[in-house]
Every structure is written in C-alpha cells, then in structure tokens.
Amino acid sequence: MKCWLIKIDKFLDTKLPLVILLSLVVLLRLPNFFEPYWYGDEAIYLTVGQSINAGQKLYAQIIDHKTPLIYYLARVPNQFSFRLLLMGWMLISTWTFFQIAKKLFKSCHAVMTASVLFVLLTTLPWLEGHIPNGELFVMGFVLVGGWLLTKTKLWQALIDPKTPVTKPLPFLDLPRVLSSTWQTWRHKRWLKKWRVTGLENFWLLLGGILLGLGILTKVPGLFDVAGWGLIGWFILTNSLPNSRATSQVKEDFAKSSLVVIQKLSLLVAGILLPLILSAIYFGLLGAGPDYLRFGLLYNFHYAGNWGLPFTNPLLLKFFTLPGKLGLATLLVLILTVFRHRFSGRFQFIAGWLILALFGSLLSNRPYPHYFQQLVPPVMLLVGYLIEKCQVIYGQKKFYLNQVWSLTMSGLLLFLITSTFLLLGFRPYAVGSYYSSWLKLVTGQQSSETYKNSFNHLLPDNYKLSTFLKQTQTKRLFIWGTNPALYALSQTVPVGRFTVSFHIIDISAYDETMQALIQTPPPYIVVMKDELAPFPEFYQFLNANYMPNSTSDQYQYMNLWKYAPNLSP
C-alpha cells in the first residue's frame, strides 16, 4: 500500500498540472449531457449521420455543405454519444495543446496560464464550446498532427536554427536493407540511422494525414494546416544568405534547403492522402460530382452571401476574400522580411494566428463557434507574452527584438478585437447556463422547465417525436428549419436536404418535389414561420395530405398525414 502511495505521489508531482486541466474539462462538461436536442448544426450532423446509418449515400442522397468527416463522426446512436465523443476529443486536444505549449515555453506560468485559458474557451458556452461543432473536431486533428510535427528535426530547426536538418530516408529502403543477409554490422548501423530519420519520416507523414483529416472535417481547417506549414517557409527564409555570403555558405544553404523541401514533401503527401482517398471513395460511391459541389465548392458560395453590418468602402474592401488574403500575406511577409527581429517560435505563433484569423473570417459571419479556430494560436500568443514579460521584468530593460515581437503581438490582438467589434460579435452567457443546470440537479426546477428554456420549439418537438416513434415513422419531410426534429425522432428526410435553407439557396424545388412524389412520407411537418413561396409543394400537400388530428397541440408547426387522392 505504501509503495502505491509513493508511486501516486511521484506521478502527481510531475503530472499534477495536466491532471488539473483534464479534470477541469470533465467537470465543466458535465452539464452538456443534460441538454435537450436543441442546437441546429448539431441536429443537422446527427440527422445526416443517422441517414448514412440508414443506407443513404452522403452528398448523393443526403447533404449539408461541409466536408464529410464531421458527418461520419456523427454516426453515433444519439446526442448523448455525440457529446461523450466530444468530451473525449477535447481531453486529447487539451493534452496535446499542453504538450505543444511545453515545447514552446520554458516558463511554467506561461504554459499553465495558456492551457487553462484554452480549456475555458473551448469548454464554456462563450464560444459554444459545449456544442459538438466542426471547429472543435478540426482543432483536435490539427493539435495532434501538430504535436507529432514537434517531434521532428524540422520543428527543432525553427525553434533552434543551429539544429541540423538531416536528410530523410525513403521508407522503401527498409525492406531492401532487411532482405540483405551480408554484413550484419551494416544492418545495425542502418537500423540505428532509421530510428532517427525513418521515424521522423513517419511523424511527418502521420502528422500530415491528421492535418488533412482536419480539412476533411471542415474546410476552414485548411488555414490551420497552412499555419503549421509555415514552419517550412520560415526555416527556408530565415536561413537565406545575404548577397555578401561566400559561395560555400550559398552551397550549404542550397543543400539544407533541398533537405527541408524533401521533408515538406512528406508532410504535404500526408495532407493530400486523405483528400485524394476521399475523392476516390465518393467517386466509387457514385457521388463524386455532388461531393465536389456540396462538400467543397459550396463553401465559396456560402462564404460570399453574408451582408456586413457596415457600409464604409475601405472596410468592405478589407472583408472581401482578396482583401483578407492581401492583409494576411502582408503580415506574413512582415514576419519574413524582418526575420532577424523575430524568433522562430514567435514567427510560428504569429503566422498560425494570422491564418487562423483568415479562416475564422472566411464567411464574415459573427457566429461564436467560428472563432474557436483562433483559440489555440491566441492562447499560445498569451503564453509567449507572459514569458516575455517575465524575461523583461528580470532584465529590467528592453531589447530591440522584444519591442518588435511585442508590437506585432499588439497589432494582431488589435486586429482580432476590431474584427469582433465591427462584426457585432457577442459571446453567449456562461453564468445562466451553469446556474440553470445547478437548479435542475438540486431539484429547484423541473426537467421540463429546464429543457424548454433552450429553444421555443422544444415542447412541440418532444411531443411530435413521441408521436412519430409510436407510429414507427422512419421517413419525414419538414418544410422549414427544424433539423432537431429529425434527430430527435430518428427519422430520415425525404430528399437530400435537412433544412429549407438549402432548398431555397440553390433553388432545388424541382428536385425536392420529385423526391416527395416518388417517396411520399407518412407525415409532413410545415413550420409556421417558413414564409418562402413554394406553390408546387403546397399543391402537392393539399392534394395528398390532410391535417393530422393532433395538430392543434403544436404551436410552431403543423402536422399533415398522408391521405392520397384527396382532390376531387
């Protein structure tokens, strides 16, 4: 017993900060499991996931406008399972963020402060951290992939420019060498070399695969991937010889650059691998064009149809795609041109933050969960500033390089703050979320009151889902926006669309009508707040459906029962 206590004590001495962080994640996420089916995006993911489980082909027979992996992650039995998956996902994300912070900072205060803030912002409702949104799943892939990259010489060469970047060994050399039977000592020497360089190849390839999976979860993850790819860019540009350099220095630069490019090619190969495999998979599934249209290209349409809340011509220019790209390029060029004024780790943090800001503003929408993409690099910047302030305080004076990095940090934080203010960003309340849950678990409010506080549609949705389950309804059509009803009743939409928004946005009226005529569902729900004209649908509804006898129970929707040949 005493031996076990000693082991536990030693474990806590070294792992206590991490134990505190992971415990905080679990504790703060407990209320998440008591929430009803209420959140739109989560309901769409679950609806598409259960449609795939029912045999529907993604994009060909059921669609949303995101890349595919988020829907396959949502192929879980219910919302509780999805929330449980998210908690496990964020435990891994927190662990990897903590490890990356330890690689970047020597100060325990910097590491712990950045990590605690990371947990709070990715868990609390401020930025919808309690909801299984795509950004949080992208974050997990990016952080784990990035952590693998920190195990390579490529990363070390950025943090410490004196680190030599060794040439990568092709994986195919391993079976060739192992098949040789002569000169055993050469085998051992090769294997020892492979443990260093071959394993690094593996980390580069696997890290790239995980980054690629982040893109397959949601398209803006591309900018996080580009942020980590800046490691190679800064290594190459930081070692550029000046015009007065000797021929030997230039030759050494050419050789080292070739090695860096070889390593980057492994990383890029890993990133592209899941993207190529996904294209092949959906092509074989017969959904290749639909995957291209809705999984990839639709994001450009979605990003360009949001009206901004201001009219200043200059600001409007900045928020266009070319304007944002130009500003991001300018800031990265400042980090590159004035490379001697910045450390490699600051270049990485600032470069990732710049591209993450670009990604979070891709559609210019002020939705709080979009800004989850900013949390990891911003928290690393906070850790950097804490450590830098500690150094300055100890030295009692400023150095020029410190002024440059602090000025750039201030500029980036100013850009983020200005963006929030211009777009009218508003975080969600935290106090009321937890106080309401405490009232529930302490018996101060009923589960019905607690459930109905999330969304005005919930009383109708729960009543109707009970009815649909009793009648064993498997297919349903909802004209309007109420995907939670699909997820709650575990029904599959008739047609490819889960919400009327998509039908209206791409004018898919004929396709929807064809699906309804070919497979009329037992029940149709019409949301009372859906005012978009769809005359063909209402003609079909009146000719083939009758108002259900229980429809007077619902305040926000009408239920129609299939009864063909109603028309004279």
The stretch 175-202 carries a mean pLDDT of 52
Residue 408 in any domain: the answer is yes
Query: Does the pLDDT value for residue 567 go beyond 60?
Result: no
pLDDT attached to residue 175 = 46
Query: Does the pLDDT value for residue 271 go beyond 80?
Result: yes
Buried b (16+ CB within 10 A) or exposed e, 51-70: bbeeebbbbbbbbbbbbbbb
Structural domain ending residue among the three candidates 424, 448, 469: 424
CB 293 within 8 A of CB 60: no
Residue 83 CA neighbour count, 13 Å, CB half: 22
Structural domain ending residue among the three candidates 378, 402, 424: 424
User: Which band of pLDDT confidence, cut at 50, 70 and 90, is reported for residue 432?
Assistant: very high
pLDDT attached to residue 464 = 95
Residue 72 in any domain: the answer is no
pLDDT attached to residue 302 = 73
More confidently predicted of 450 and 249: 450
CB 280 within 8 A of CB 51: no
The stretch 421-433 carries a mean pLDDT of 95
Percent of all residues in the chain with a pLDDT value above 70, rounded to a whole number: 88
User: Which band of pLDDT confidence, cut at 50, 70 and 90, is reported for residue 256?
Assistant: confident
Residue 412 sits in the same domain as residue 509: no
pLDDT attached to residue 398 = 61
Structural domain ending residue among the three candidates 401, 424, 447: 424
Q: Reduce the DSSP state of residue 337 to 3 states and report it.
A: helix
pLDDT attached to residue 391 = 85
Query: Does the pLDDT value for residue 28 go beyond 70?
Result: yes
Residue 369 sits in the same domain as residue 478: no
Query: Does the pLDDT value for residue 178 go beyond 70?
Result: no
Taking Cα atoms as reference points, which of 384, 474, 433, 502 lies closest to residue 126? 433
Residue 311 sits in the same domain as residue 389: yes
CB 352 within 8 A of CB 391: no
Task: Give whole-number Cα distances, 344 to 158, 161, 239, 382, 467, in Å.
Answer: 5, 8, 11, 16, 61
Residue 506 sits in the same domain as residue 554: yes
Residue 338 sits in the same domain as residue 411: yes
- The Cβ of residue 224 has, within 10 Å, a number of other Cβ atoms equal to 28
Q: What is the mean pLDDT of the chain?
A: 89
pLDDT attached to residue 15 = 82
Residue 461 in any domain: the answer is yes
Residue-wise pLDDT for 99-120, tens only, equals 999 999 999 999 999 999 999 9
Query: Does the pLDDT value for residue 149 go beyond 80?
Result: yes
User: Which band of pLDDT confidence, cut at 50, 70 and 90, is reported for residue 436?
Assistant: very high
User: Which band of pLDDT confidence, cut at 50, 70 and 90, is reported for residue 184?
Assistant: very low
Residue 514 in any domain: the answer is yes
Residue-wise pLDDT for 344-384, tens only, equals 999 999 999 999 999 999 999 999 999 999 999 999 999 99
Least confident of 13-17, 165-169, 231-235, 564-568: 165-169
pLDDT attached to residue 430 = 96
Q: Mind giving me the DSSP string for 237-301?
A: HHT---TT--HHHHHHHHHHHHHHHHHHHHHHHHHHHHHHHHHHHHHHTT-HHHIIIIIIIHHHH
How far apart are alpha carbons 293 and 67 in whole angstroms?
A: 11
Strand partners, 62: 58
Residue 405 sits in the same domain as residue 467: no
For the chain, helix, strand, coil in percent to 5 are 70, 5, 25
User: Which band of pLDDT confidence, cut at 50, 70 and 90, is reported for residue 493?
Assistant: very high
More confidently predicted of 183 and 534: 534
Residue 476 sits in the same domain as residue 396: no
Residue 434 in any domain: the answer is no
Residue 468 sits in the same domain as residue 512: yes
Residue 149 in any domain: the answer is no
How far apart are alpha carbons 264 and 545 in whole angstroms?
A: 60
Least confident of 26-30, 301-305, 314-318, 528-532: 301-305
Taking Cα atoms as reference points, which of 509, 461, 506, 510 lies closest to residue 487? 461
pLDDT attached to residue 254 = 83
What is residue 62's DSSP assignment? B
Query: Does the pLDDT value for residue 146 go beyond 80?
Result: yes
pLDDT attached to residue 179 = 44
pLDDT attached to residue 312 = 87
Residues 6 or more apart whose CB falls under 8 angstroms from that of 16 comprise none
Residue 418 sits in the same domain as residue 463: no
Query: Does the pLDDT value for residue 250 go beyond 60?
Result: yes
User: Which band of pLDDT confidence, cut at 50, 70 and 90, is reported for residue 1?
Assistant: low
Residue 343 in any domain: the answer is yes
Query: What domain range includes position 537?
Result: 456-562
Nearest 5°: phi and psi at 481?
-115, 100
Total number of domains constituting the chain? 2
pLDDT attached to residue 550 = 66
How far apart are alpha carbons 386 and 48 in whole angstroms?
A: 44
Residue 556 sits in the same domain as residue 462: yes
How far apart are alpha carbons 317 and 289 in whole angstroms?
A: 33
Residue 334 sits in the same domain as residue 390: yes
> Would strands 492-493 and 475-479 be described as parallel, antiparallel, or unpaired?
parallel
Residue 266 in any domain: the answer is no
Least confident of 132-146, 288-302, 531-545: 288-302
pLDDT attached to residue 4 = 62
Residue where the block lists tokens 């929330």: 83
Side chain identity, residue 350: A
Query: Does the pLDDT value for residue 19 go beyond 90?
Result: yes
Residue 416 sits in the same domain as residue 516: no
More confidently predicted of 79 and 186: 79
How far apart are alpha carbons 283 and 139 in whole angstroms?
A: 28
